Structures are given as C-alpha cells and as structure tokens.
Amino acid sequence: MTTEATEPAHPRERLLDTAGRLFYKQGIQAVGVDRLVKEAGVTRATFYRHFSSKDGLVVAYLEARGARVENAVAAVLAAHRGRDALLAIMDMIGDNLCRPGFHGCGFLNAAAEYPDPTHRVRVLIAEHRRWFHGVLCAVVRDAGHPDPERVARTLVILRDGAMVGGYLDDPRAVRATLRETAESLLTS
C-alpha cells in the first residue's frame, strides 16, 4: 500500500487558515501576531513578507470569507431563479446558522472590532454588504416584487439579525423564521 504525502500548505495559506480559525472563534483583537505565527508554523519575517501588518491579514481573511460567500451564492443563482433563488439563499444562510462551531457572522464580528467606518477593514465590510444587497435586490426583482430595493434592504437586516440570533438562540428556530419572513416579504 502506498500513501501519498501531502505537501504542506504554503505559508501564506497557513497564516490565512490559522487567522480564519482564531479570528472567528476568539476575535481579531484577542489574537496577536506572535500567536498567529506560532500556530501557523511560520516566522515573523514570513508573516511580514506576506502581509504588511495584522490589518493586512485581517483584510485578506475577510476577502477569503467574502469569496466563499460569493461562490456559494453564485452556485445558488446558477441553479435557481426568482423566488426559488431567494429561498435557496435564505436556506443557505439558515444552514450556516445550524452548523457546529457557529459564532455569528465573521463580517459583523469584525465590524464590531473596527469602529472607524473609514478603516480599510470596515470599507471592505461595507463593500461586501453592498454586494449582498445588490444580489438580493436582483433576485427579488426577478421574483417580480414591485419594490425590490425595500425588500432587499429588509432582507439584509433580517440576515444580520439571523446571524446574531443563530449564535445566541436556537439556530433551528431562527432558520425557520428567516425562511418564513423571506417568503412573507415576497408576497407583501
């Protein structure tokens, strides 16, 4: 029997994976560069070769999270249109709330740690939120609702509340409420 040796992840990827795990579970400000480099198995010099600062790593962490969300939404939109697409997006969010280790929304958590709206972390978060609002607006428009802008704005707020509720309350109940509310918004 032969075993295939796996190549160790590139140091940048190890740093991103480590940051993603630690930032999400413990908070960004609670995790220092020393801990990141130690757990990623890299040197400080390697860290700074890939990221100009800890904030640079935070931006890369959020960009990676955003790319995963965008890819998941793209897959939903490739398979569904209109009402079905909206409900599939809400189900995707609801499924996320119910997964083990859920600690809320990584973007909302980061926003709480970066109060300055002009900081590049907050600018990135705002861009992600505008993208999500735009997707919802297009999907609601495709579903035939006469006021897609209002419904999309409401859905973004609903998603934000679901992210908090999924962490603090019964995630299955929050998931059900998320879907029911999205359905009722489409018929309003």
| pTM: predicted TM-score of the whole model, two decimal places | 0.90
| Confidence label for 9 from pLDDT (cuts 50, 70 and 90) | confident
Domain ranges in the chain are: 8-51, 54-187
- CATH code, 54-187: 1.10.357.10
47-56: long-range contacts, CB 8 A cutoff, minimum separation 24: 47/15, 50/11, 50/12, 50/15, 51/15, 55/119, 55/120, 55/121
Q: Which CATH code of 3.40.50.1980, 1.10.10.60, 3.65.10.10, 3.20.20.100 fits the domain covering 8-51? A: 1.10.10.60
Residue 5 has pLDDT above 80, yes or no: no
- Domains 8-51 and 54-187 alike in fold: no
Q: Give me the numbers of helices (H) and strands (E) for the chain, helices first please.
A: 9, 0
- Tens of pLDDT along 150-174? 999 999 999 999 999 999 999 999 9
Give the confidence band of 1 by pLDDT, cuts at 50, 70, 90. Answer: very low
CB of 158 within 8 A of CB of 178?
yes
Digit-coded pLDDT (tens) for 55-99:
999 999 999 999 999 999 999 999 999 999 999 999 999 999 999
Q: For helices 33-40 and 11-26, give the axis angle rounded to 10 degrees.
A: 130
